[in-house]
Structure 1
């Protein structure tokens, strides 16, 4: 190694140490954890069940279900519901639900999901509960929150976060981006007249940011979101970005201080190798560790969407995919 090369390496290392956070280069992204069994999934939400093992729910079917005893071998376990609740048909002709979110609170599992049609914000978010979190045990409770064509937001892609005794739901896709509304913790539905907070958008139409998920770590709340285009197989450009705030309702900024409401956001994970269009993410706890769940499109399998799982490490106050 030459002296010049050594000095360059030292300077680069020093600069990296001084930066508050640096996004990983694409070639350095780790591959997802190897899994077996049923890998096909889209917009996954994962939870470690109180009874042991794991459940994953997703877009597809009547909220498609996957179960695993160890988080590595997954089996197709049918659907959350045997039949779509009748009110879903108000939002699409097939009763097709999207992008669920599972959580556990006060002895009950809560499953949020969206119903809509491609290209419209005539959309609604619903909720169901279960004592076990297992497919076939869910009781639907109807609409939580909705949007209409006259609104500047889109009520899909729900995710919950509890903060200082209050319950919040992030949501949003295109239509000016990511929003948040407060819920009644007893009913799990939006408080009447609740303010709709604006968390993230992009400066350019069609404001391609969606799938929000907020996590508390230390003194900060971290907003994860999917940017660019999903659902096009190997042509998908989905990627995951993140910002943080000391308040659950924002403002969220990236490591350089740029607000997510002005197009900011640190790149957390993007397509690399055979793993194309990483997004539709959620975060779950497993034995005290944070795990990122997402889908990617498999370049070796004609762009089939599959489950990605990576542990999250926290470095200098920011998440990194491990």
Structure 2
């Protein structure tokens, strides 16, 4: 084979490999939204990591949302601007970005919110306005953890915030019409939990449930959560579970009619030999098609966390079915 031809084939091969793996950007706790022709992905990271793409295949890193978060330093000892598990939504001309400030393994945690009229960084109106704390959990006072927020809206247009991790599980709280603070008088609900070993109230225990996301479909509210353990690389055991309810406040039941408050949940997707664990999902709809957005721990890269996108279909009984995740989505 001629050297020039061999070189050309090699270049094409390498380019194809680079393109096929381009979707596998290093992310944790991803959520995605589309403005105009651009997809924006927000995820855990210094100041909240942001990526942009026009095709969900090729991604460009953007500047973080926050250079610093002074109130976070005061609220959480040792906070160094590493912000967890954002959630993005759009309402009445503003993008709402909820996010978590937390100590690892403790329920010294807060959920904050920031707004922006645009996600296009080159727009003259681009500016994140931080509105500070929405919810706070304090060890010894609360048996819940204020992390992993997701905004959901019921059939009456009422906004709710679902959140939580370990302790006694997933909480749902009513927001006021501004979406920036809790409604008064406050309305709280427990919507999912797992049996937790008897440990000190300040310890997480082993009731591994977190990362809630509520998605309305087929006349039901579907509550997605992640069971088991994230953040352990090759030892991660994350998996996505789901239940549903006719009311946003629950009760959420799985396929076997087991309440999620009693540890119920129907499996959506779990790890395998290629991905050690998969979880912390969002659900998005583009062009009439639903997708799971989540992270997985890559067995081919020492268990590093990568972006995964999977088409989501629904069976004859209305339950979500994750199709084969692919880099070509």
Partner of 1:195: 187
Answer 1 or 2: higher relative contact order, Cα 8 Å, separation at least 6.
Answer: 1
Which aligned runs of 4 or more in structure 1 are off by greater than 4 angstroms?
none
Secondary structure at the counterpart of residue 45 of structure 2: coil
Q: How does 1:57-206 map to 2 (within 5 A)?
A: 57-81=42-66, 83-89=67-73, 90-93=75-78, 94-134=80-120, 137-149=127-139, 150-163=141-154, 164-205=156-197, 206=206
| Counterpart-to-counterpart distance in 1, 2:95 and 2:53 | 17
Matched, 1:286 2:286: yes
RMSD: 1.6
Where does structure 1 lack aligned partners over 5 or more consecutive residues?
A: 1-32
Where does structure 2 lack aligned partners over 5 or more consecutive residues?
A: 1-18, 198-205, 324-329
Distance 1:174 1:134, change over 3 A: farther
What TM-score results when the alignment is normalised by the length of structure 1?
0.86
| Counterpart-to-counterpart distance in 1, 2:102 and 2:275 | 28
Report Cα offsets for 1:13-51 as digits up to 9, x if no partner: xxxxxxxxxxxxxxxxxxxx95516610000011111x2
Report Cα offsets for 1:137-160 as digits up to 9, x if no partner: 321111111111111111100001
Distance 1:124 1:193, change over 3 A: farther
Deviation at 1:297, TM superposition (A): 0.7
Deviation at 1:85, TM superposition (A): 1.9
Partner of 1:318: 319
What TM-score results when the alignment is normalised by the length of structure 2?
0.84
Deviation at 1:122, TM superposition (A): 1.6
